[in-house]
Amino acid sequence: MSASQSAVRSRAEAVKVSRTFDWLIMFTLFFVILGGYHVHFMLVAGDWDFWSDWKDRRLWVTVLPIMGITFPAAVQAILWWRYRIPFGATLSVLGLLFGEWVNRYFNFWGWTYFPINFVFPSQLVPGAIVLDVVLLVSGSMQLTAVIGGLGFGLLFYPGNWPVMAPLHLPVEYNGMMMTLADLSGYHYVRTGMPEYIRMVEKGTLRTFGKDVAPVSAFFSGFVSIIVYFLWHFFGRWFGSTAFTKGS
């Protein structure tokens, strides 16, 4: 068979082959992103995402979007600039959440018996949708970074609040006040994690009084913008075909 000869003979067949490619690529991409993103997230956001008694109004709100926007930015860069596909961020986040849920359900609950209501992952989908749509509509990397990045940071806390609020009900326990999330952390013994490791409500944003979460969210959004740029260029570089030219 000569190289110039097409492998497909009809339009229907071309579509079929193209579809097969889609599934293959989508499947591989999903799991490759999942693997990389999940490892990255465990290393940099680890405990803040593992335990509900770490999910405070300062560091959780600040750290997670900043560390979470990395892979979505890079994958967007590849899918958008090479294919004009506007779901890079959503695909990344769904990959991460899939990996996290498998890990939390089978290891944290199935193997070590921590209740799921103590070890469920954080929600990132709303921010990812906004990131994707801003890129789709504007077609601009700068605008996506600024509006999308800020949105990614700002949507994190409200996007998670419906599942977090019930864990922040106050309890009086043997003469001390704590939230249900604190109580989970106290009840469900983590031998390897003494209480002092927990980084809760620490930081210098105290001057804003009661409204710490919005301030943290804005701060997180601003840093997310910078991180977006950085990882977008990683993605561009990674997705370039400069080194395979001529094939």
Partner 1 sequence: MKLIKDGIAKLSFVALLVTVTAAMFYAPTASAHGEKSQAAFMRMRTIHWYDLNWSKDIVPVNDTMTVTGKFHVFAGWPETVAKPEISFLNIGIPGPVFIRAGSWIGGQLVPRSVTLELGETYEFKVLLKARRPGDWHVHSMMNVKDGGPIIGPGKWVTITGSMSQFTNPITTLTGQTIDLENWNLGNIYFWHAFWYAFGIAYIAYWARKPVFVPRLIACEAGKHDTLISAMDKKVGIGFMVATLAIVAVTMESTNAQYPITTPLQAGLLRGMKPIEMPARTVAVKVDSATYRVPGRAMQMTLTVTNNGDSSVRLGEFMTASVRFLDPAVHEDDTGYPDDLLAEEGLTVSDNSPLAPGQTRTMEVTASDAAWEVYRLADLIYDPDSRFAGLLFFTDEAGNRQMVTIDAPLIPSFI
User: From the CB of 20, what's the least distance to partner 1, in Å?
Assistant: 10
Pairing verdict, β 170-173 and 176-179:
antiparallel
Cα 55 from Cα 61, distance rounded (Å):
8
Site for partner 1 in 61-80 (CB under 8 A): none
Q: Does 35 bind partner 1 (CB under 8 A)?
A: yes
Question: Toward partner 1, which CB reaches closer, 102 or 226?
Answer: 102
Q: Does 245 bind partner 1 (CB under 8 A)?
A: no
b/e code 146-174 from CB counts within 10 Å (16+ = b): bbbbbbbbbbbbebbeeebeebeeeeeee
Q: Does 93 bind partner 1 (CB under 8 A)?
A: yes
CB 80 within 8 A of CB 86: yes
Residue 43 CA, distance from chain mean position: 13
User: From the CB of 242, what's the least distance to partner 1, in Å?
Assistant: 14
Q: Does 236 bind partner 1 (CB under 8 A)?
A: no
Q: Does 137 bind partner 1 (CB under 8 A)?
A: yes
- What is the pattern of x (binds partner 1, CB under 8 A) and - over residues 182-221? xxx-xxxxxxxxxxx-x-xx----------x---------
Please identify which residue in 63, 73, 181, 225 interacts with partner 1, judged by CB under 8 A: 181
Q: Which residue pairs, CB below 8 angstroms and at least 24 apart, start in 174-182?
A: 181/52, 181/53, 181/55, 181/118, 182/53
Q: Does 8 bind partner 1 (CB under 8 A)?
A: no
Question: Toward partner 1, which CB reaches closer, 17 or 226?
Answer: 17
